[in-house]
Amino acid sequence: MEEKIIKTEYSEVMQKSYIDYAMSVIVARALPDVRDGLKPVQRRTLYDMHELGIRYDRPYRKSARIVGDTMGKYHPHGDSSIYEALVVMAQDFKKGLPLVDGHGNFGNIEGDGAAAMRYTEARLARVTQEAFLADLDKDVVDFVPNFDETEKEPDVLPVKFPNLLVNGSEGIAVGMATSIPPHNLGEVIDAVKAYMKNESITTRELMRYVQGPDFPTGGIVTNKDELRAIYETGTGKIRIRGRVDVEKGKAGKVNVVISQIPYPMVGANIGKFLSDVAALAETKKTMDISDISNQSSKEGIRIVIELKKDADVEYFINMLYKKTRLEDTFGVNMLAIADGRPETMGLKEIIRANVEFQFQTATRKYENLLEKERNRREIQEGLIKACNVIDLIIEILRGSRDRAMAKACLVEGKTDGIQFKSRESAIMAQQLAFTENQANAILEMRLYKLIGLELEALIREHDETMANIYRYEDILERRDSMAQVIMNELDDIKRKFAGKRRTLIDNCAEAVFEEKKAEEMEVICMMDRFGYVKTIDVPTYERNREAAEAENRFVFRCKNTGKICLFTDKGQLYTVKVSDLPFGRFRDKGIPVDNVSNFDSAKEALLLATGQSELNLYRVIFVTRMAMMKVVDGGEFDVSKKTVAATKLQEGDKVVSVTVLDAQKNVILQSKDGCFLRFGVEEIPEKKKTALGVRGMHLGPGDEVEAVYYTTGASEETIPYKSRELVLNQIKAGKRDGKGVKVRG
């Protein structure tokens, strides 16, 4: 075969390939169809369960069997995505109307995952069987080939209500995402009926029926007046709070009980909420908490926060709304696949699309039923007519050589080769004109059908068939009749499956919370060599001074209302509020400083930690590896940002020492090659923090500053150097930018 080489731009190939990939993810994976509200993996899983006969009134089957069959026939994208979809459809805390009846551990509202698929079992929920799959055998939707064209699967399920609104949907595609909140089934059905009665109805009028989202976890939607704009545009933010009750506790205490949580808190965020409440107490943001307990069970959520006597309950509840996820937002983006492409739709558009779909499926359903009834009428009329001339038909059958000869006589009146008892019978036989279907039915008719009662039953069946034909023709010819049929089905679904609203829709004033200013006091901040930091009160420090200074790398005084400053070898300054640090006992461990600042101990080395109030009173000396030095006024580091550059560095340079200048008289620079230079600190000029500084020592090729020491007076100060003690005061004094003296070990 001759090779064919196509030359094209690489960028064009990449662009086309990425667009194809993006559209595949958007249409075939991540976004639901507006007609049935299902993503492909959900639709395929439900259809496979239907094909396997795992109905609501039959025994459960292993989830692994369902997942394996779905993956092998319809969804070849891995078992985890199929099982995850199956699990979510069975979780009543995520779906307003679960579509799968799960048996076993299917996870819980607190974030525990489902058991492995080999342990759990499932079957279709009754609503799924009756409202999603009931009419599949009536040719109401198109079937398309599966991925390897060995099976057929429905392009969409014939869902009888707007499932996209009832169960909502969440999904992330390429460049777009959908986030649709769940709604109350009864309210949605009422809105659909209102639209069918008046297609010019406005969104505002529809909201008389659909009050707002109805989350399975309950809660309170607090921005009722904003819902209209959200439902008109399909986008917006819904503010939702947990339901909080106040109960009397023991010994005059008060219990704040959370019985419903915001929908976004479902899962691991409940644990995060509990830790956030505990952190409020640990960081002294509130002193009112006496105890926290999670008493949730299968009966529902119950989180109890016990408050101390005389606690300001309203203030505490407002603090929970502001400082935890007890009040959260649900971002709405009602994006779905409509006519094969993604489209953001409002409430009315979704209902309109679903109603059009209902009329389409109803039309195909009743056309199919009408065709069957007409075929049945044809057979019934043939059998009734045959009963009237049954003697002649028996004579034809007895006189025919084979079935074909008898059938030709019944349909076309051909009597050639048939032996009749009389000439009159032959003449009557020539006048017969049954249809093909009638002739087949007559030839297959059993003798017991000749009984009088059977004939009467046949006539009654014919009357029923004619009534059905007239009814189906009326439904197909008159839109009002079809609409009434659809509404009757909706009423039946509402009666069987609708429940009470769980989420309260209201306009609530924004929670007002102002942090009570802590009484200013001096505390001691301590940081050990592992970077764990905490604060203690001054009396505790005084009692444990020696142990504190021996066990910690940095120990300094600061105000509890102030900040601490962290200087690193990369010339960065990180600030941390003292109020963010744990305040407690001397032997408390503290928390990693990385947790409360942007400082990353894995990437930078910490050189100095000190209080902001101390820096404002003094100056700071910087020394770099390339011997650049400067003095900076400490007030320059009183900044509002959490991270700023503390000094300017040349390329490849690092800070070796950052020191608060107090009583130091001399500075000694030690180089890697063993040169020491001593000179007075007054020789170091004061610069801005953005300046590079001046050279402090003339270094040889490949040499660099290794350490920096300071002396405060004439008293001898020594350091260990190689194999001996080096007296810093005895080092020959020099001038800044000198080479220093070589010290041998």
Mean pLDDT of 32-57: 94
pLDDT value at 140 more than 90: yes
What is the CATH number that goes with domain 522-742? 2.120.10.90
Per-residue pLDDT at 450 exceeds 70: no
> Which pLDDT belongs to residue 401?
83
Question: What's residue 727's pLDDT?
Answer: 85
Q: Known catalytic residue: 119?
A: yes
Distance of alpha carbon 242 from alpha carbon 320, whole angstroms: 10
* Rounded mean pLDDT, 723-734: 85
Q: Among 725, 733, 572, which Cα is nearest to 644's? A: 572
Percent of all residues in the chain with a pLDDT value above 70, rounded to a whole number = 95
Domain with CATH 3.30.1360.40 in the chain: 243-325
Cα distances (Å, whole numbers) of residue 380 to 132, 246, 349, 438, 469? 33, 72, 46, 8, 13
- Give the chain's mean pLDDT: 88
DSSP assignment string, 450-481: GSHHHHHHHHHHHHHHHHHHHHHHHHHH-HHH
Residue-wise pLDDT for 323-358, tens only, equals 888 999 999 999 998 988 889 999 999 999 999 999
For residue 21, pLDDT beyond 80: no
Instruction: Kindly tell me if the per-residue pLDDT of 102 is higher than 90.
Output: yes
Has domain 353-496 been given CATH number 3.90.340.10?
no
Residues 496, 134: Cα–Cα separation, whole Å: 15
Which one from 119, 209, 574, 618 is the annotated catalytic residue?
A: 119
Check residue 288 and give its pLDDT: 85
Nearest to 70 by CA among 23, 117, 20: 117
Please, which pLDDT band fits residue 687 given cuts at 50, 70 and 90?
very high
Of residues 306, 280, 273, 270, the one with CA closest to residue 291: 306
pLDDT tens for each residue of 401-442: 888 888 888 888 888 878 877 888 888 888 888 888 888 888
Strands in 243-248's sheet, in edge-to-edge order, are 243-248, 254-260, 303-307, 289-294
User: 254: how many CB neighbours lie within 10 A of its CB?
Assistant: 19
What CATH number belongs to 31-159?
Answer: 3.90.199.10
Parts of the chain belonging to CATH 2.120.10.90: 522-742
* Residue 173: pLDDT band with limits 50, 70, 90: confident
| Helix, strand and coil percent figures for the chain, each rounded to 5 | 40, 25, 40
Q: Dihedrals φ, ψ of 150, to 5°?
A: -105, -10
Residue 106, CA distances (Å) to 113, 244, 574 in order: 7, 28, 45
Q: What is the pLDDT of residue 2?
A: 66
Pinpoint the residues of the chain covered by CATH 1.10.268.10. Answer: 353-496
DSSP structural state of residue 581 = S
Residue spans in the chain of domains classed CATH 3.90.199.10: 31-159
CATH architecture group of domain 243-325? 2-Layer Sandwich (3.30)
Q: CB neighbours of 116 closer than 8 A, spacing ≥ 6?
A: none
